[in-house]
Amino acid sequence: MRQKYDKFQQDKPMKILPYCMLAFLAMGCTPKKVQNTQPDELLMLVGTYTDSGSEGIYTFRFNQITGQSAPLASFKLPNPSYLIPSENGKRVYAVSEMNDSTASLSALALDKTTGQLSLLNTLPTLGADPCYVATNGQEVVTANYSGGTMSIFPLEKDGRISPVDTLFEGTTGGNDPNRQNKPHIHCTLFSPDGKYIYATDFSSDRILRFVLHPNDIVPHPSMEAVQLPIGSGPRHLTFSPNGNYAYLINELSGKVVAFAYSDGTLKQIQTITADTSAARGSADIHVSPDGKYLYASNRLKNDGIAIFAIDQQNGTLAKAGYQQTGIHPRNFQITPNGKFLLAACRDSHVIQVFERDLTTGLLRDTRQNIKIDKPTCIQFVR
């Protein structure tokens, strides 16, 4: 039997389109302890925009001890701006960020030895400009930015995706007449305990929560949501490795909000500025594998990555530094061993490889750049 999700929000229930069926399957997902030793060689996946010569998805071999990389293969797919591998690394789910009915999600098989990708199937997201994707091994969820929706795809046993069976709409309410004038969902992800899905409702300045209800036939609406200051523009949310804290980067305000997390409850504990230039272009956010540092990227002015130290007792943040990057660092990732941070600088057409100081959290440019047209997403497979 599949499980149901409820949306927690502050005012009216989100519209659920009539052809959609509210059905989900629970899957436990507990935080994993950081290992002391990691394999040196990683498979790296890179998504891109394809309007300036890129073919689509590229794979590399990346050495997380030396920071050196070697190209492996490529796969043609229109605008795979965000992608996520399955937990076992045998499947990859990639959006095609298109601003029309061709917007889609593709399931691909991955050969981890050669880096070759092969298409399993492609289905429409039913929402324009999908820009984020996550999976718990039973479903795949996409955030459709221009469509203002979150799409849910059930997964088949062979890793293929089934057609969208649930579509949730975001709302408006922010004060930016140009960027918050219609609904935008920007990020969707599963909570560390596997009990919830969170979505950033960009235009209403809220974080939405969807709850699993085992064996329920009808969802139970709730009046909860995380309301943020008007004009925040919540973009990406991430959890600490131990699952006790969550951190949100707001694109418009340029602020990071820290939360204590417990069984679906996000309790705000701090707000701190990441974008001191007020560029209104903050983008990505990640915690180091050891849980000691938080990184947040900024675009449009003073492009770079803000660095914060995390208090190990209460999860609060303190400014530790700022690293300049190439133009438009839309996405970045940290290697599993924590030694390197790789920044996808879209408009510089390069992935920059920074070495992390494990003691101070600061970054050093290794000059081992990976040249690629409009990189937008980096993921590692072990």
pLDDT in tens, 15-59: 343 223 333 333 333 334 334 346 799 999 999 999 999 999 999
DSSP string, 48-96: E--TTS--EEEEEEEETTT--EEEEEEEE-S----EEE-TTSSEEEEEE
Mean pLDDT value of segment 153-169: 95
Whole-number pLDDT of residue 300? 98
Residue 125 corresponds to which tokens in the numbers above?
């997201």
DSSP string, 205-241: TEEEEEEEETT-SS---B---EE--TT--EEEEEE-T
Query: What domains lie within the chain, and their CATH numbers?
Result: 4-381 (2.130.10.10)
In the block, residue with structure tokens 């060689």: 41
Whole-number pLDDT of residue 39? 76
Q: Which residue type sits at 103? A: A
Residues 332 and 313: their CA atoms lie apart, in Å, by 26
Whole-number pLDDT of residue 8? 45
Nearest to 233 by CA among 274, 199, 204: 204
301-318 per-position pLDDT tens digit: 999 999 999 999 999 999
Percent of the chain with pLDDT over 90: 85
Nearest to 380 by CA among 282, 247, 286: 286
What are the distances in angstroms from CA 191 to CA 11, 194, 215, 240? 23, 5, 20, 11
Residues 235 and 243: their CA atoms lie apart, in Å, by 20
Q: Residue 361: pLDDT above 80?
A: yes
Mean pLDDT value of segment 315-331: 98
